[in-house]
Structure 1
Amino acid sequence: MAIVFFVHLHWVTTGFDMDFLDRQIKIPLSNRTIPVKYALVHTAYWVLITGFFLYEKRYLIYKAGLPYFVACVVIRVALLIGIAYLNLHYLLPRYLLTGRYLRYVSLVLLSIVGYLLIQAFYDYLIYGFIIAPTQSRNWLETLSYNFFSTLWYLGLMVPLKLSIDWYEQQRLLQKIAVEKLQAEVNFLRSQVNPHFLFNILNNLYALTLKKSDLAPDMVLKLSEMMEYMLYDSNDTRVPLEREINYLQNYIELEKLRCGDYSDIALHIQGSPNGQEIAPLLLLPLVENAFKHGIGKQAEKSWLHGTLTLKPTAVDITIENNKPTTLPKNAKGGIGLTNLRKRLELLYPGRYTLQTEDRLNTYKAALHISFAES
């Protein structure tokens, strides 16, 4: 039955407005408050218990009359509610959960004995006087029935409470995991932006030193990229078309810096098809190639890229030549490491990132599937 109520709890908490179900309500004659969903689940439980007693004691309507029938059910349910919540809110947290098992069992048995004394008195009144001519009772059998039935109903409340507590704990852990993921993504994204700006500003500085006529065009493209980076990239998903445009602007800026002596080309195949992607995922492959490949060579540098757009996936391959030997003071970038972490957070199990570091060339290939398996 506890499983039934756990399923009921899941249905309640997923089928309605969570804000309403999490709202706190005050318990009558008490300063304590409980969530609405807690009240709904427990109300459903006691409605079922009351229904069972109504069915079990229905013969009293004919033998003792409706008032005694109602009183019998009300007294039984009220007593059960009393010892159940004494157990849940006092005995369970104070003794069982603190490892004081013997004290807990003793006090539970004592509360059941109190229930039996009150119930036995009422049973004696009902069966000993009111319907005595038509009903005889074995007191040992009556006490045994009341004891084990009470223990049974009391025991049901413990797994019910533990089920609710477990579910709430899982919801809390899930919420913490989502918040942690978002915090990590935001942190990793904040690392991308300064890294990118550092490279572009260096490029612009080089053009201004040469008094190049290309500087104004570079500033315009940079302003478009800054708009994307400052506003669109704060969203969890952006149109794939915008991400591609951002990538193309970056490549055009690098072309302006490198001049005619470099062979730089990105071939795009297919259409974005209205797909969305997490922002700033395609740039690190290209940025890494310029920073550690073309940017380290004075001439005869090249970068060839292919961006393939599919209905449910995107593939990008970037290959470039690089110096045979790197300077001893060369600093490693955070780009690809950052990218791999973001992919693991945003597209777990739906991406592949492969790199080939050869003597004179470097190749990186990224596949992202938009369809969840």
Structure 2
Amino acid sequence: MNMGVRTGMTGIVFASLFCLGLLLLPVPGMAKVTGQCAQCHTMHNSQGGAPMAVDIAGNPQTAPNQTLLRYGCVACHTGTNDGTNNIPYVNSTTAPTYGADGTTGNTLAGGNFYWVAAAGGASDAMGHNVASDGLATQDATLGNTPPGGTGPLTSQLTCAGTTGCHGDRTKDSDFGAMSGTHHADDSVIDGTTVARSYRFLDGVLGLEDPDWEYLPTATSHNQYKGFDRTSDTELAVGSISNLCAHCHNDFHDGSGNVGGTAPAANPFSSPWVRHPTDFDMGNTAAGSEYRNYGGAGVNAYVVAAPVASVDVSTVLSTVTFNDDTIVTCISCHRAHGTPYPDLLRWDYSSISAGGGGSGGCFECHTTKN
């Protein structure tokens, strides 16, 4: 992951890094952070009598950060995507362009925190209420209890760590959970370390789109790891839905939580009591409406309603309904935020059965429009 930071470095910091033996040298592995150390780190959070740490609004921050960083997670990843940036921006201080489903504007695969942050109106339902860098306040309705969860988190959600999604989830801070990760080689995604996990989501597998799905197409997108489950109790280890289930567990697994009273011979099937995840649409009848995903006879990969696959060695532009049309949490939702309630990719309130519409739910439920 080439973060490609800006140019410029003071001689004092350079000398300090050299004397401390911390000057970074080239190491094999294209995915590591590159660029001048002083753009991310500060030795004493002081230069010319002014603090070097910066908050998400770009203002000086007197309190130093852990791991000698100038920026927290959100501050570093706040900006406007234009297709040339080497840092993925997941928060913006002005409204991002989103469009109908987030595939035609400057929003990346995970969406944007803008709508849940103060700048975008602090709408709790529009994003994950991440406390990191003071981005968002606790959800006024849910508190710290995730929907579908069995109890409240120990504290408000963060980007990484024990109450976060990224990094080492045994660490209790963003900085500790991500320490060293941006400097490690993540050119092979096998889930063995945080750095070698999909998007630094520990243990999750997948194929990463190099521009984080800026204006994605059927031939240029993330390839998500899925698992073709056969029961409610299978955990789908390695899939991104399994990570979501760490907090929203009742929505994903547990006896009777998804398949409900499905036939004993096929316990993970319709009639569903909750929308299935880690379920391959290839398990449906050959003539079912789901087999028209991506267009009847065409079956192109639909970036507006992405599906996962068991094999993530390559990007799929078409699907075959053989372990490559697996429904995941992020088939319908985005992880950071959207302009729609429940972090949905599209406006659910505009989806009307029999109304002749297209997109959204109708990408899979192709005959119900």
Return the TM-score normalized by structure 2.
0.23
Give the helix-richer structure, 1 or 2: 1
Return the TM-score normalized by structure 1.
0.22
Of structures 1 and 2, the one with the larger relative CO (CA 8 A, separation 6+) is: 2
Give the strand-richer structure, 1 or 2: 1
